[in-house]
Amino acid sequence: MKSIKFLFPDICIFLLFAASAICAHASEDFSIVLLPDTQNYAEKPSYGVYRHQTQWIVNQKQARNIQFVAHLGDITQHDVMEQWQVADQAHALLDNAQIPFSMTPGNHDFYPSKAIHARQSMFVNYFGPQRYAGKSWYGGAFNSTNENNYMYFSANGMDFLVVSLEFAPRKDVVTWANKVIQHHPNHRVIVATHCYQNSYGDHTTGWADHYNVEGREGIDLWEELLQRHSNIFLMVSGHIQGTSYNKRVGQNGNVVHEILTDFQSEPVLGNGTALGNGWLRMLTFKPDENKISVETLSVEAGNTSIFSGGRPQFYLNYNRISNPTADRHNKMNFDLSYDMQTIPGYSYSIGDPQYKDRKAHTSLQGNHVRPQIVSLENGNSIVVWQDDRDNNGYYQIHARAFDSDGNALFNDITVNYTASGQQLSPSVASDENGNFVVVWEDDQDNNGNYQIYVRGFHANGSERFSDMAVSGISAGQQRAPAIAMDASGNFVVAWQDDRDGNGYFQIKAKGFSPEGGQRFSDRTVNSVAAGQQYNPAVAMGEDGDFVVVWEDDQENDDNFTILGRGFNPSGTERISDFNVNSVTTGDQGAPDIAMDSFGRFIVAWEDDKDGNGYYQIYARAFNADGRERLHDFTVNSTADGQQRAPGVGVDAVGNFVIAFEDDNDGNDYNQIYARSFNSSGSQHKADFTVNSDGTGHQYRPAVELKGSNITVTWEDDMDGDGGYAVLMRNFPWQESGMAKVATDSEPLSNYTVSDQQDVLTGKELIAVYPDSPGGDYKNPSRQ
């Protein structure tokens, strides 16, 4: 018996096979059937249409040489047993006739579940892997639900692969599908999914957001999957009432034929209930002509209870494309050109590695909050978060790494070794090779007193050093850890500390080697011990210099200001305590800090300087020695409502981006906004919304700017049920905002020097700025 295989996500950025053609000898015509949206047939079984369709396929198997049947989703109207039984019985006819078929769930197959984001369906009970056990044409699935699967069929010496994907596929599913196709370079590939194309021949939009699920729309599937593979030639979908055809060309020059088929709204006798009236599509492959003939027909011909006089006819209008062409139209019957004599050598081209919102975690239920992120110059990122996937009220710390295309480099790992008690507020840092360290608050004995723990990992997620307490003193409370790392992997941890239990916190810091050994012991960061000090953030330069910023209320009047202090790698003072915000009235909080390759740093914070209860996001930039580089400025363009919880990311040359919570319309629903700046402080890109789905609540963004990518993560409750997911998304840093490049043929002197200009000369990074009115220029890394 053939074993059932489950191929889990893996990553492959570029794969190229020899371009020599592989000959395929073909002569006999053969067919596949597209079975669109059967939801009304399952809900209204008295018409018997679902069974009529599969019986017709069985009856025509020999005459039409039917090799495969692809269902296009919305198998049922609602996810209830009675409707699944109708589908089960209809497809049993195909089972008995040994006709290979694939299934994919549509949005209706998750109803009436209120938690559609959990993608729970009875699909697995009827069309799970067990149904396909022992069938040679069954390839495997993404996981044990079988909602994402791949099948085989062969005809006239040609091997075909059919990949079926869930409604609005998750990014992990797209990663898996890319890998499946890459593993079949000599197969001709058909992709089926429920929602991809509308009746105008355009990609669908807005459906993932409509159902509040994290998933790919039509354009996302094209960019993240379909356009990349040279052997994909056909994309078929349903969901949208109507028909359309569109011809696209992929990254490798291959033609992809896209076909929409959905007749669910066709009414009985033209004015009765919406049923679908038995319409389906036949695709007949004609190898000798290098042609595929598309035919639309109804199995209910002669049925006078469905068609007047029993004559099949369409009661609805299908002509939506105003200026149809041979490459884009609404025709019911037409021919496609497709070379069935040769198979060009396989190639995979990623194109633009931008991806839509994706979940950082594999779990689809529970609560996932407080994400933090670190990115590398190659575009890889590591995200950490608090995870309560079983909803028991106790959190673990989880981590996962991703490449620049949003593909997971490994599945979620649990960071804390001891699972008892609570683990909260993680932070993460990485070296240039992707080795990373995570810190968090840990209350293993669940007594309400927290210590700061740390654990190190290799780039592949395996342990580098085990859990250990950061401070040797376990008394009192240690909270709110932050971590930063230099180029060699040395790291420093900062936290707020009330070790004497008097209710007043100080800011502490401690240094470590890459393997977790102590470099310097706990030291107090704040020079003035009076009052409260909270919420430190830390940034570290390539050479190990670091700066800590924190909320400080020395007067103990509940109005905080942002202070900072700089240190050498050994933990000795380099810059004495300084005020980050120049206007100290009102309240300032939630600081974040990032540092460029010269040691210059930028700090962002939330600011209510007039004390009216409404916060704006402010930022200020400093040179490596602590001198002001950019004066305080407001980050958010719209001052209305609330803006809170900023995160800041900076690239090697000082360009930066700030993300923040924004409720500028005052409706108590936050979006995640971001705004990017050139190193001079001039605007690079105006405020933009990060999250694709604007419903529900979005909180606590963290952002990185490395290489050519802005990567943002945040917590998101798009469906408003109180359960949060950690989402992430990337954006390109456009060429116009990047540093100029000086080459041998274009010397540095050809560039105009402004107040702040960064120039790349070969492999050496040089930042120049006016140091005096006379025009002397110095490298700030040597100040």
Average pLDDT over residues 492-498: 98
Average pLDDT over residues 485-513: 96
Number of residues in the chain:
783
Report strand pairing: 491-498 vs 477-485. antiparallel
Residue 102 has what pLDDT? Answer: 99
Tell me which H or E stretch contains 537.
strand 532-540
* Residues contacting residue 296 through CB under 8 Å, at least 6 positions apart: 243, 261, 279, 280, 281, 282, 332, 333
Residue 22 has what pLDDT? Answer: 42
Distance in angstroms (rounded) separating the CA atoms of residues 131 and 149:
12
Report strand pairing: 188-193 vs 158-165. parallel
Residue 427 β-bridge partners: 439
User: What is the chain's mean pLDDT, rounded?
Assistant: 90
Residue 10 has what pLDDT? Answer: 41
Q: Is a pLDDT exceeding 60 seen at residue 437?
A: yes
Taking alpha carbons only, the member of 592, 595, 546 closest to residue 572 is 546
Average pLDDT over residues 199-223: 93
pLDDT above 70: percentage of residues in the chain? 90
Q: Which strands sit side by side in the sheet containing 697-706, from one edge to the other?
A: 358-359, 725-732, 709-717, 697-706
Cα–Cα–Cα angle for 587, 591, 594, nearest 5°? 150
Buried residues in 439-454 as b, exposed as e (16+ CB within 10 A):
bbbbbbeeeeebbbbb
Residue 16 has what pLDDT? Answer: 36
Whether 159 contacts 186, CB under 8 Å: yes
Residue 113 has what pLDDT? Answer: 59
Q: Is a pLDDT exceeding 90 seen at residue 349?
A: yes
pLDDT tens column, 317-332: 999 999 999 999 999 9
| pLDDT confidence tier of residue 472, bands split at 50, 70 and 90 | confident
| pLDDT confidence tier of residue 551, bands split at 50, 70 and 90 | very high
Residue 755 has what pLDDT? Answer: 32
Distance in angstroms (rounded) separating the CA atoms of residues 265 and 77:
13
Distance in angstroms (rounded) separating the CA atoms of residues 104 and 192:
8
Average pLDDT over residues 489-512: 96
Residue 753 has what pLDDT? Answer: 33
pLDDT above 90: percentage of residues in the chain? 83
Average pLDDT over residues 336-353: 93
Distance in angstroms (rounded) separating the CA atoms of residues 406 and 202:
25
Whether 382 contacts 426, CB under 8 Å: no
Whether 479 contacts 496, CB under 8 Å: yes
Taking alpha carbons only, the member of 107, 118, 276 closest to residue 208 is 107
Distance in angstroms (rounded) separating the CA atoms of residues 591 and 550:
6
Any idea which of 120-124, 290-294, 352-356, 406-410 has the lowest mean pLDDT? 352-356
Residue 210: Cβ within 10 Å count: 12
Residue 101 has what pLDDT? Answer: 99
Thinking of the domain 15-344, which architecture would CATH place it in?
4-Layer Sandwich (3.60)
- Residue, of 238 and 665, whose pLDDT is higher: 238
| pLDDT confidence tier of residue 208, bands split at 50, 70 and 90 | confident
Q: For tokens 């049993």, what's the residue?
A: 92
Taking alpha carbons only, the member of 655, 589, 645 closest to residue 621 is 655
Highest mean pLDDT among 55-59, 469-473, 735-739, 778-782: 55-59
* Residues contacting residue 59 through CB under 8 Å, at least 6 positions apart: none
| pLDDT confidence tier of residue 130, bands split at 50, 70 and 90 | very high
* DSSP character string of 180-215: HHHT-TTSEEEEEESSSB-TTSSBP-SHHHHTT---
Taking alpha carbons only, the member of 728, 724, 635, 631 closest to residue 688 is 635
Whether 291 contacts 268, CB under 8 Å: no
Q: Is a pLDDT exceeding 50 seen at residue 149?
A: yes
Tokens of 684: 């690079």
Q: Is a pLDDT exceeding 70 seen at residue 17?
A: no
Distance in angstroms (rounded) separating the CA atoms of residues 746 and 113:
63
Distance in angstroms (rounded) separating the CA atoms of residues 691 and 214:
11
| pLDDT confidence tier of residue 112, bands split at 50, 70 and 90 | low
* Residues contacting residue 664 through CB under 8 Å, at least 6 positions apart: 636, 638, 639, 640, 641, 643
Q: Treating both helix axes as pointing N-terminal to C-terminal, what angle do 49-59 and 81-96 enclose, rounded to 10 degrees? A: 10
Distance in angstroms (rounded) separating the CA atoms of residues 187 and 473:
62
| pLDDT confidence tier of residue 764, bands split at 50, 70 and 90 | very low
Residue 758 has what pLDDT? Answer: 36
Residue 114 has what pLDDT? Answer: 59
Strand intervals (E) in 554-650: 561-567, 573-579, 587-595, 601-608, 616-622, 628-634, 642-650
Thinking of the domain 582-735, which architecture would CATH place it in?
6 Propeller (2.120)
| pLDDT confidence tier of residue 761, bands split at 50, 70 and 90 | very low
Average pLDDT over residues 134-156: 98
Residue 558: Cβ within 10 Å count: 9
Average pLDDT over residues 412-439: 97
Domain boundaries, the chain: 15-344, 582-735, 740-782
Residue 743 has what pLDDT? Answer: 29
Q: For residue 773, with 0-12 CB atoms within 10 Å meaning exposed, 13-18 middle and 19 or more buried, which class applies?
A: exposed
- Is the preceding omega at residue 112 within 30 degrees of 0, hence cis? yes
Taking alpha carbons only, the member of 403, 402, 354 closest to residue 732 is 354
pLDDT tens column, 567-624: 999 999 999 999 999 998 999 999 999 999 999 999 999 999 999 999 999 999 999 9
Residue 767 has what pLDDT? Answer: 32
* Residues contacting residue 426 through CB under 8 Å, at least 6 positions apart: 370, 372, 384, 385, 386, 397, 399, 415, 438, 439, 440, 481
Average pLDDT over residues 408-419: 96
Distance in angstroms (rounded) separating the CA atoms of residues 465 and 458:
9
- Give the Å distances, CA to CA, from 22 to 42, 183, 291, 353, 487: 44, 17, 19, 30, 48
What is the biggest distance separating any 2 CA atoms in the chain, rounded to whole angstroms?
Answer: 94
Tell me which H or E stretch contains 372.
strand 367-375
Half-sphere exposure of 4 toward its Cβ, with a 13 Å CA cutoff? 14
Residue 212 has what pLDDT? Answer: 85
The DSSP call for residue 10 is: -
pLDDT tens column, 244-268: 999 999 999 999 999 999 999 999 9
